[in-house]
Amino acid sequence: MTRLLIVLPALNEEASVGDVIAEIHDEVPDATVLVVDDGSADATTERAAGAGALVATLPFNLGVGGAMRTGYRFALEHGFDVVVQVDADGQHNPADVPALVAALDGADLVIGARFAGTGDYRVRGPRAWAMRMFAGILSRSARTRLTDTTSGFKAAGPRTIALWAEHFPVEYLGDTIEALVIAARAGLVIRQVPVAMRARAAGVSSHNPIKAGIYLLRATMALAIAYVRPRSAYGIGEGL
Amino acid sequence: MSLATYIVGIVAAALVLTVVLVLLGRRRLRERHAVWWLVAGALALIAAIFPQTLEWLSALLGIGLPVNLVFFVGIAILFLVDLQMSSELTRLDDRTRSLAERVAILQLEVDRLREASNGPGEQHGEVQYETDRGPREHREP
């Protein structure tokens, strides 16, 4: 029996977090749900606790990276075998969680990919170019075809949990791109499973070309730094 | 160079050194951070007392105006100190983040233990602490 922890990083999600938790309880009744409240100013913590989730409330905002590292630490300390990251805004469909967990058989990390055929999630402009470029580079590192490297919908097995509890990147965009670079460089087996994003997510990406350009620059820099950093920085010198 | 300029130079350098040493003595400045300020103060004092050393060194390095050497060394030291501060800031940030994550997990565990010790049906047990966030809502068991 695998012990499954679903982690929801949440910043000011009081409107949706309760519904998402209820839906997870329906779709994945065996899972333990941990909401990491990333310094919300609203009632996220209270709503999540009221919906029956465990809640770790960060004293101030750390970003998705810090929230997720808290989740992986909690999982490691409490002996969970699998961690699935699900966004608290409802864009990820909890019904996809079992498919992600099933794909962990023979893999250490499974990404719920938004461009792999299912759903109608579309991005255009510099953001799309950046995403395509990252997918190409990371596919080479991971020795498998990845089409969506910026997805937050991920399932992590025991080896990934052990690595990320210590080394989940907390810098800008670290929770997506650099986290995958670390996993790939540590020799973990990465796989992707197609998922559909739900209405709330589609279209929220920035349509402002300046913002998209800045995103492209910062993301490229984050990627470059992730590769330049010596393997010893992740404590993965001799493989895992 | 007039006598006044000469004295002003020495007093300024001595003042820098004194302030650094006093802060060190009061433990308001870590030795790790004080090193560069001590080096800068000592160099300034030497150059102030013996301006010839400055001229001699400038000639040796082929610098036409000795004052340019002063600017160069000054900027170099400020640059290094700034870099050290940035690096230190990064380290402190890492530690603060790590502590915040640990606090969140511990808080969660303390809440659960407290709930468990209050037992079911005793929604308002004797041990009622208020956290800095105010009293927490009790969860459904």
Name the residue among A49, A50, A70 with its Cβ closest to that of B104.
Answer: A70
Q: HSE-up of A186 (CA within 13 Å, CB side)?
A: 26
Tell me, what's the ipTM? 0.83
B126 vs A: CB within 8 A: no
Name the residue among A50, A59, A77 with its Cβ closest to that of B100.
Answer: A59
Q: What is the pLDDT of residues B35-58, one digit of tens each?
A: 888 999 999 999 999 999 999 999
Question: Per the structure block, which two tokens stand in for B112?
Answer: 């659960």
Identify the closest residue of chain B to A74 by CA–CA distance: B105
Domain boundaries, chain A: 4-234
User: pLDDT by residue for chain A (240 residues), tens digit each?
Assistant: 789 999 999 999 999 999 999 999 999 999 999 999 999 999 999 999 999 999 999 999 999 999 999 999 999 999 999 999 999 988 899 999 999 999 999 999 999 988 655 555 566 677 777 778 888 888 988 888 888 888 889 999 999 999 999 989 887 777 888 899 999 988 899 999 999 877 654 444 556 778 777 877 888 888 888 888 877 766 654 444
Q: What is the pLDDT of residues B69-85, one digit of tens each?
A: 999 999 999 999 999 99
B89 vs A: CB within 8 A: no
- Of A136, A117, A239, A112, nearest to A183 by C-alpha is A239
Neighbouring-strand partners of residue A190: A109
For testing contact with chain B, the best of A32, A62, A80 (most B CBs within 10 A): A62
Q: What does the pLDDT read at residue A15?
A: 92
pLDDT at B128 over 60: no
Q: Say yes or no: domain A4-234 is CATH 3.30.230.10.
A: no
Distance, in Å, from the CA atom of A18 to the CA atom of B17, rounded to the nearest integer, reads: 61
The amino acid present at B53, given as its one-letter code, is T
pLDDT at B134 over 70: no
A11 and A40 Cβ atoms separated by less than 8 Å: yes
B81 and A13 Cβ atoms separated by less than 8 Å: no
Confidence of residue B33 (pLDDT cuts 50, 70, 90): confident
